[in-house]
Structure 1
Amino acid sequence: MKRIALFLGTNIAIMVVLAIVMQMFGLEGVLDEQGVGLDLTALLIISAVVGMTGSFISLALSKWMAKSMTGAQVIESPRNAEEQWLIETVQRQARAAGIGMPEVAVYDSPDINAFATGMMRDSALVAVSSGLLRGMKRDEAEAVLAHEVTHVANGDMVTLALVQGVVNTFVFFLSRVIGHIVDRVVFKVERGHGPAYWITAIVAQIVLGILASAIVMWFSRQREFRADAGGAQLAGREKMIAALRRLKQSTEQPHLPEQLEAFGISGGMGRGIKRLFLSHPPLDERIQALQQQRY
């Protein structure tokens, strides 16, 4: 989904900038204990500050970024019956979910898609694509909106920020430890840090960041099941299943560009190791989970 790509992209960029700033101002120098070893306590504190800061700045910017990147236009005053229906549907669902009324927006895109984002449960953004409005029946679109409202009600973006922050912390921490070991053991640097430290730390941060993203994506897949269940409670299970089936039909069309799969509400498809990095479970699994639920 678009919110995942935007959030993770912003988070990575901020992490890189913070790391560069720390190096420019010599802040990583405090990690040396009298030029011999790493001060692991100081390193862990700095790692947590950098990791959490990057994650929560990403979260704070998520709504603005989503609007900017997609061109989503917030409905201030409904101009037609379709926009009036969108406002009324989200308002009804938000009230049932116990959250404040989100901003409702539409963005121009041929793919069937929708997203919700924002730092606060009571001031979120729910947006749908023009392709979704054209390609789905109202019952199906209602279920998609319920799915997104459930994401907001569950506080999924805040939880994702916390998970990403913890992951960032350990990636930053371990990459510096690895860089220090290589610098001392392989290149025999006795005091301070040589070029090997910086090069190794950067490479390790990239590699560990990629591996750690599998943890974040696992959490993302679990929350999609919960959002489907919440959408079924708000709009009806049959409507939610019908919406997922419609998404399945659209993603299986041969003309759909592969690069769009990861950004759609369906999250695309993957096999083998690629499955570890999917933000969404396969649609068949989501449909099956709804069919097996009893409520």
Structure 2
Amino acid sequence: MKRIALFLLTNLAVMLVLGIVLSLVFRFTGLDSRSLGGLLLLAAVFGFGGSFISLAMSKWIAKRSTGAVVITQPNNETENWLVNTVAAQAKKAGIRCPEVAIYDAPDMNAFATGMNKNKALVAVSSGLLQSMTRDEAEAVLAHEVSHIASGDMVTMTLLQGVVNTFVIFIARVLGNIIDSALNNNNSESEGRGFSYYIIVFILEMIFGVLASTIVMYYSRQREFSADSGAARLVGKNKMIAALQRLQKSSEPHLEGNMMAFGISGKSSGGLFMSHPPLESRIKALQEA
């Protein structure tokens, strides 16, 4: 319930801010919101704006939605090992050490998030720390550090922004065409009818689902890349062992962007999976 409320409030705030920005842009540029240029501007503001605001807030949202506690001063040997391990890997990868946090969850998982590679967060579940060996956990941490070092969060945000922009723009262009056809091109009618907004809503849902397959395909490729990065940081055998351990774990509980940058994703979903099957990831490492 807390996650749902946080999600709704965050998106409401984002829509409000972008709406104000868009109204100011239209006022100062003099663009007609119904023109192709106006529609493209609207699509770009909401498409890219929503993605980048979400990225900017990603650490804040992740901490509050998962209850992750950042380790500012290690209180035990495990926390000390976590901080030192991530710091060593970050140095080797050529990035600033990210914040390190632990969140309470029974599944074996971890995720990375943050606005850029030098202001990131790596969080691991309590279930991972309890169920994995140090070598396996080290490989998982290396996987997340590799995501950060490769700039995957920003790249995924850019891709999502492009996809969102095209979905919003094409849905509105087609919505105008369909609405005009349904109204027999009545030039005397003023304003857009209710049917236009229904059509746009339906088209955005359809195109959004189709476009998400592109984003998920790219996400799966980045998982292979992060596995390879982890293998370079800590060794191929450790990464393979970690993935084999994950085969015995339960379904992950992470959602949204945190799922995309977690060590493990849902085991089903086909084209909509954010992670490749664990078997495919293990095979790719073995053949590398």
Same fold (TM over 0.5): yes
Asked whether the equivalents of residues 232 and 239 of structure 1 are also in contact (C-alpha less than 8 Å), the reply is: yes
Residues 13 and 204 of structure 1: is their aligned pair in 2 closer, same or farther, counting only changes over 3 Å?
A: farther
What's the counterpart of residue 271 of structure 2? 276
In structure 1, distance between residues paired with 2:173 and 2:16: 18
Paired residue secondary structure (1:280):
coil
Code of the aligned partner of 2:79: E
Q: Which one of the candidate residues 129, 152, 155 is aligned to 2:125?
A: 129
In the alignment, is residue 112 of structure 1 matched against residue 111 of structure 2?
no
Q: Which one of the candidate residues 35, 43, 61 is aligned to 1:65?
A: 61
In structure 2, distance between residues paired with 1:31 and 1:154: 38
What's the counterpart of residue 227 of structure 1? 226
In the alignment, is residue 95 of structure 1 matched against residue 91 of structure 2?
yes
In structure 1, distance between residues paired with 2:180 and 2:68: 51
**Structure 1, residues 70-120: CA drift from partner, whole Å, max 9, x if none?**
000000100000000001100000000000010000011111010000001
User: Residue 269 of structure 1: CA displacement?
Assistant: 1.8
User: Residue 268 of structure 1: CA displacement?
Assistant: 2.0
In structure 1, distance between residues paired with 2:255 and 2:75: 31
Paired residue secondary structure (1:250):
coil
User: Residue 187 of structure 1: CA displacement?
Assistant: 2.2
In the alignment, is residue 239 of structure 1 matched against residue 241 of structure 2?
no
Q: Which one of the candidate residues 10, 14, 17 is aligned to 2:15?
A: 17
In the alignment, is residue 44 of structure 1 matched against residue 40 of structure 2?
yes
User: Residue 198 of structure 1: CA displacement?
Assistant: 1.1
In structure 2, distance between residues paired with 1:72 and 1:19: 27
Code of the aligned partner of 2:182: V
Give the aligned length: 271
Residues 216 and 140 of structure 1: is their aligned pair in 2 closer, same or farther, counting only changes over 3 Å?
A: same
Paired residue secondary structure (1:127):
strand
Code of the aligned partner of 1:268: K
In structure 2, distance between residues paired with 1:67 and 1:103: 11
In structure 2, distance between residues paired with 1:15 and 1:265: 30
Code of the aligned partner of 1:181: I
In structure 2, distance between residues paired with 1:16 and 1:80: 39
Paired residue secondary structure (2:156):
helix
Give the structure-1-normalised TM-score. 0.84
Any gaps of 5 or more consecutive residues in structure 1?
33-38
Paired residue secondary structure (2:124):
strand
In structure 1, distance between residues paired with 2:212 and 2:93: 30
In structure 2, distance between residues paired with 1:16 and 1:86: 34
Paired residue secondary structure (2:122):
strand
In structure 2, distance between residues paired with 1:180 and 1:19: 26
Residues 289 and 261 of structure 1: is their aligned pair in 2 closer, same or farther, counting only changes over 3 Å?
A: farther
Q: Which one of the candidate residues 281, 284, 287 is aligned to 1:289?
A: 284
Code of the aligned partner of 1:276: L
What's the counterpart of residue 144 of structure 2? 148
Asked whether the equivalents of residues 132 and 141 of structure 1 are also in contact (C-alpha less than 8 Å), the reply is: yes
Asked whether the equivalents of residues 146 and 229 of structure 2 are also in contact (C-alpha less than 8 Å), the reply is: yes
User: Residue 261 of structure 1: CA displacement?
Assistant: 9.6
User: Residue 267 of structure 1: CA displacement?
Assistant: 0.9
Residues 129 and 163 of structure 1: is their aligned pair in 2 closer, same or farther, counting only changes over 3 Å?
A: same
Asked whether the equivalents of residues 14 and 54 of structure 1 are also in contact (C-alpha less than 8 Å), the reply is: no
The Cα RMSD (Å) is 2.8
In structure 1, distance between residues paired with 2:204 and 2:105: 35
Any gaps of 5 or more consecutive residues in structure 2?
none
Q: Which one of the candidate residues 163, 170, 174 is aligned to 1:167?
A: 163
Asked whether the equivalents of residues 248 and 266 of structure 1 are also in contact (C-alpha less than 8 Å), the reply is: no
Paired residue secondary structure (2:247):
helix
In structure 2, distance between residues paired with 1:15 and 1:282: 36
50-59 vs 12-21, which deviates more?
A: 12-21
